[in-house]
Amino acid sequence: MSLLMGLRRLPGRQLQMSARWRMYSSAQKHDTPVMEVLGSRYATDEWTNATTAILDKTGRNLLHQESHPLAILKNLIFREFPDFAYYDALNPVVTTYQNFDSLGFAKDHPGRARTDTYYVNESTLLRTHTSAHQRQLLEAGVAGDTQLLAQAKNRLAAPNNERFLVAADVYRRDEIDASHYPAFHQMEGVCTFTRDELRRAQAPELLNATQLTDSTVIGASNPVQAEHSAEDVALVAAHMKRTMNNMVTRILA
């Protein structure tokens, strides 16, 4: 699980359908290859590399099977953040913009390669991480996108998505071994502050059982964003690290 906390500058259904290839007749009466994923159809092209074996893993809804270990862990984590909105049924098909560009991935980043990512077509793919929904959900809160906001559980705790958790299945073209599998699950946390809120916020006290080792290095390879002061960064980092460590301590206690 990753937890993103930052400054803000701006004011589930369960899917059960399998995914598969189909051929549909085009208006020109030629057979046009179209991929169907969770009931939606997408045109395919030379980038398409998502196989039937992978597509059939979408819509399994392991996070919604009450007795499944993933669902149990998800609910334990949700309970640790009672003032967050929760998302656990977002569609795994996202755009390349959502998955890469909105997060600052370079155009030549290896994660964009067809050898690393399952593409539906050149502009659409199976998300490789829950971060693909960060900007989408933040913008939904600012714009008041009621259709997307309505998918949140515990919505009243953060009605404008100022704090939210995303749990989801993600997909990467990994070779299967003891620690890798092409379909797995992540959880993402986002919490925003105005500068006034940040100054008033107090980093949680560490629980007695928690030992915090701080190895964060700010430098050329991990610079402070221009919009943030060194004080901003220190306050956000302290809040995030203590929140995460306390969560792990309580869950494993």
* Better-scored residue on pLDDT, 217 or 88: 88
pLDDT at 11 over 80: no
Please give the single-letter amino acid code of residue 130.
T
Dig out the tokens for 229 from the structure. Answer: 């002061």
135 vs 137: CA distance, rounded Å? 5
Range scoring the smallest mean pLDDT among 73-82, 177-186, 220-229: 220-229
Residue with tokens 């939210």: 164
What does the pLDDT average to over 8-31? 40
Q: What is the pLDDT of residues 46-57, one digit of tens each?
A: 999 999 999 999
What does the pLDDT average to over 161-175? 96
Q: Which pLDDT score, from 0 to 100, does residue 145 have?
A: 96
Please give the single-letter amino acid code of residue 51.
T
Q: Which pLDDT score, from 0 to 100, does residue 20 have?
A: 44
pLDDT at 61 over 70: yes
Range scoring the smallest mean pLDDT among 133-142, 208-217, 223-232: 208-217
Q: What is the pLDDT of residues 119-159, one digit of tens each?
A: 999 999 999 999 999 999 999 999 999 999 999 999 999 99
E strand or H helix at 124: strand 124-126
pLDDT at 64 over 80: yes
What does the pLDDT average to over 177-184? 92
127 vs 23: CA distance, rounded Å? 24
Q: In what order do the strands lie in the sheet with 85-87?
A: 2-7, 183-193, 163-171, 85-87
| DSSP 8-state assignment for residue 143 | H
Q: Which pLDDT score, from 0 to 100, does residue 123 have?
A: 97
22 vs 36: CA distance, rounded Å? 7
In terms of phi and psi (left: phi > 0; alpha: psi -120 to 50; beta: otherwise), the region of 67 is alpha
Q: Phi, psi (5° rounding) for residue 78?
A: -55, -45
Dig out the tokens for 144 from the structure. Answer: 């008041």
249 vs 206: CA distance, rounded Å? 10
Range scoring the smallest mean pLDDT among 102-111, 121-130, 195-204, 244-253: 195-204
Cα dihedral 147, 151, 155, 158 sign? negative
55 vs 21: CA distance, rounded Å? 9
pLDDT at 5 over 90: no
Q: What does the mean pLDDT of the chain come to?
A: 85
Determine how many CB atoms are found less than 10 A away from the CB of residue 132: 26
Residue 59, SS3 per DSSP: coil
The answer to whether the pTM exceeds 0.85 is no
- Inter-residue long-range contacts of 230-233, CB under 8 Å, 24+ positions, other chains counted: 232/7, 232/195, 232/198
* Better-scored residue on pLDDT, 209 or 165: 165
pLDDT at 25 over 50: no
- pLDDT category at 17 given cuts 50, 70, 90 is very low
153 vs 78: CA distance, rounded Å? 10
Ordered alpha helix ranges (H), the chain: 52-55, 69-80, 96-99, 134-143, 146-149, 195-200, 230-252
* Better-scored residue on pLDDT, 241 or 100: 100
